[in-house]
Structure 1
Amino acid sequence: MFSFNERLGLFLTLEASCLSLACVLFILGFVVYKRLRRTVVSWGKQTARRPDASDSSLFLNLMFADLIQALGNMPSFKWMIDAQITEGQLCTAQAAIKQVGIVGVAMTSLAISVHTFSVLVLRWNAPRYVTRIMVIGVWVFAAIVIGTPNIVHAHKRYYGDTGYWCWILVEFKAEEIVTEYLWVWVAGIMNAILYTIMFVVMRGWFIIDNGIHWHKNYTPSYPNVVEVETEEETQTKAIANLMLFYPAVYIFCCLPNSISRWRFFNGIPTPDRVTFLGSILFALSGTFNVSLFFLTRPELVIGPKSDRIIEDEHAPFHHRWSSSGGAHKLGHLPERQYTDAPPAKDRWNSPEFDPKTLTSAVLHTSPQGMTLQLPPREGRQHSKAGSSLIEEEDYGHLPA
């Protein structure tokens, strides 16, 4: 029989799970409403959207995994009322649902980190179908990892009472690690590694340009030109920077619970307060993810601000690219623009400046400077509107 303090710990865990459940259901419901409304408004028309640095499919999949994880704690309400765990179908259901949710959250969190890494460090904007494949892969992987031991031990008592909830019994220690803890730790470690790499690149300590360079030894390909960051690249970095909080929150939520459960299954005495603290933080992961969702993807909740309905079927190419999710089969790297002009405050005072050289044909719409015709590189570049060059690659295009 559970003591009062143990029942209180179960109650607080349930409260955290209910909060996560309510937040996730609100997000999913509101997203469905907004998308249905957007579909009705733009029916039969093309919609041009801003480039999505982090395809929303991964976020919605994270919300769905958090939903499953929160549902896995709901049977604990009966255990709290009865002050004990009764093994049976409900107990088995709780164990299986908890496994599916935890593995789903772990793999989706890792997928988000990998996707953010490709955008921020590798500068590769993957087309939308790549994230669709990642979402499908998460659940296929979860089905294989969780389903295989259940088939192997179909005639054995595999799930049961493990202290304060139902899960894999202690005698199946290898299955406990392989079907859940291993992937939680892999996701946490990989998130930490990718986060560290993204941090040093964002700080400018390492520069990714035709290889990896230490910032003190880096020599630009064109030392006499200044790289102009496009609006697309600025928006991409801003979203990707906020995305880095996802792995940090994941590690914060899963680490205490992993430590306490690992101590329990190895017979190391663990205070109840420590066990329930880890369980509560883990149950709150859905709430934390939803909070970050509002910060990183507010447009998906309140509606996009810059979507434009295009009536003309011969819309500009960049509009067609945005609405179709990518013009290149394997994505592209963000285009860069270069200019040989010094900063605005110094350009007009430069002794080499000659007003006669300024013509409407070579002047940017913004006062950033004149365009510079860069020398061709291996014959693989071509002019784009007289202001930028694009280098064709098998997997997309590199900015000149």
Structure 2
Amino acid sequence: MNTNGSGPSGINLTSNNHFIGDYLTHYLTRGQSVGLTIVAEASLASLLAVLYVFVIISRNVAWRVRNSPTNRWQVFYTPMDLLMFSLFSADLLQAIGGVMNLKWINDGKVQVGDFCSAQGILKQLGETGVAITTLLITLYTFLGIWLGKAIRSMKITRAVLSAAWLCIVLVVITGNAVNRGPNRMPFISPTPYWCWIGQSYIHWRIWGEYFWLWITLGFSIVAYVPLWLWSRGNIILDDHSWWKFTLQHADMDADPVLRGLRRRSLMMLAYPFAYCISTLPLSIVRWIGFVEGPSNISSTATLIVDTMFNLSGTFNVVLLLTTRPDSVLFGKQAHIPLGHALRPVQLALHSEGIQSIRRDDDTELGKLPSRS
């Protein structure tokens, strides 16, 4: 950090200014430029993948406008449509923020200014949006399978997502509005390899983004483990009381059709699982930074985990394309409803009627799971 002269924002950089831990300009080493290039490439891959999804959405909407006799202008039909659209919209913002690193690579330095502020805002919007939407997907899936309370209301889902995005936008606007003024460190500054909330505003980092990353990571892990055991047949849920369940050894000779139904019910949890893979290494590195200080984290570790983190959009698109959701918005329409998490009694009642399910339908995403 330069300790003399003046920065681009007019802040006098003398030894009397207590801006320790923040940078107004960070000059990239050759190794850091190479690492940041890989991060930018990962972001570019996610950006192109997400844009492809929006091409699919546009194609399906255009087809419906031309061919549907009724509700041709209705875009969203199910809560899954809304949740997935929110997820990919957040992925898009996060990917754009990552691709903006190309400017720093070209300049050889990361510097405060309008471009820096724009990158910080986009990264916070995208990363927090991905976290909260993933949390909602996990919550919807858990409610449908374990508690038997599937949320099928479009109004409720719209209200929840609108409130979530409104809170995200308000936090971003408030943080940038109240933390400005003379002799104050810029709210968005180099950190140091890209622009984000500066080290001086650690509380805004925690409550504006880290909190949601860690809550989503923790809840996804807590929810995934019992639901995965349920899908294997190790847990039998009570038909009448959601808090009652029985542990048993998995029956390897169980009806493969019933096992298929259980497996498909967990398809929506593939997105939280992918989120855990991309976010857990980043969280570990960030925790080390909190405990031991940012100076104890090597640039190599930071850039590696951020590369994985910026691939989250690519992971989500791969999941979408391989599962081919039963959705008017994102994919083909199935002839039968799939993805419902059924209780043992319901599984027995439905097993006879679903023997004709095609083998390739085993990868259908289906609807958000429920008991019914």
Number of residue pairs matched by the alignment: 308
1:41 and 2:67 matched:
yes
Give the corresponding residue for 1:132. Answer: 158
The residue type paired with residue 100 of structure 1 is L
TM-score (norm 1): 0.68
| Deviation readout 1:158-208 (Å, 9 max, x if unpaired) | 111111001111111111111111111011111111112322333342413
The residue type paired with residue 11 of structure 1 is T
Is the 1:246–1:292 contact (alpha carbons within 8 Å) kept by the matching residues of 2? yes
Mapped to 2, the partners of 1:340 and 1:171 lie a distance apart of 59
1:209 and 2:232 matched:
no
The residue type paired with residue 45 of structure 2 is L
**What SS does the corresponding residue of 2:48 show, helix, strand or coil?**
helix
TM-score (norm 2): 0.73
1:61 to 61, 72, 86: 86
The residue type paired with residue 118 of structure 2 is A
1:288 and 2:319 matched:
no
Mapped to 2, the partners of 1:66 and 1:338 lie a distance apart of 37
Percent identity, please: 27
- Describe the shift of the 1:72–1:366 C-alpha distance in structure 2 as closer, same or farther (beyond 3 A): closer
Superposed counterparts of 1:1-400, under 5 Å: 1-44=27-70, 55-125=80-150, 126-155=152-181, 156=184, 157-202=186-231, 203-211=233-241, 212-215=243-246, 237-264=262-289, 266-300=293-327, 301-306=330-335
Instruction: Quote the offset at 1:6 in angstroms.
Output: 0.8
Is the 2:145–2:341 contact (alpha carbons within 8 Å) kept by the matching residues of 1? no
Instruction: Quote the offset at 1:83 in angstroms.
Output: 0.8
More moved, 125-134 vs 332-341: 332-341
Is the 2:117–2:189 contact (alpha carbons within 8 Å) kept by the matching residues of 1? yes
- Describe the shift of the 1:286–1:37 C-alpha distance in structure 2 as closer, same or farther (beyond 3 A): same
Give the corresponding residue for 1:222. Answer: none
Mapped to 1, the partners of 2:287 and 2:169 lie a distance apart of 24
Is the radius of gyration larger for structure 1 or structure 2? 1
Q: Where does the alignment leave 5 or more consecutive residues of structure 2 unmatched? A: 1-26, 249-254, 356-369
**What SS does the corresponding residue of 1:215 show, helix, strand or coil?**
strand
Instruction: Quote the offset at 1:288 in angstroms.
Output: 0.3
**What SS does the corresponding residue of 2:110 show, helix, strand or coil?**
coil
Give the corresponding residue for 1:376. Answer: none
- Describe the shift of the 1:216–1:298 C-alpha distance in structure 2 as closer, same or farther (beyond 3 A): closer
Instruction: Quote the offset at 1:110 in angstroms.
Output: 0.3
Instruction: Quote the offset at 1:141 in angstroms.
Output: 2.2
| Deviation readout 1:64-90 (Å, 9 max, x if unpaired) | 100000011222111101110121000
**What SS does the corresponding residue of 1:72 show, helix, strand or coil?**
helix
Answer 1 or 2: which has greater helix percent: 2
**What SS does the corresponding residue of 2:111 show, helix, strand or coil?**
coil
Mapped to 2, the partners of 1:339 and 1:84 lie a distance apart of 60
- Describe the shift of the 1:333–1:287 C-alpha distance in structure 2 as closer, same or farther (beyond 3 A): closer
- Describe the shift of the 1:146–1:74 C-alpha distance in structure 2 as closer, same or farther (beyond 3 A): same
RMSD: 3.5
The residue type paired with residue 210 of structure 2 is Y
Instruction: Quote the offset at 1:143 in angstroms.
Output: 1.8
Q: Where does the alignment leave 5 or more consecutive residues of structure 1 unmatched? A: 218-227, 308-321, 323-331, 345-364, 368-396
Mapped to 2, the partners of 1:339 and 1:196 lie a distance apart of 21
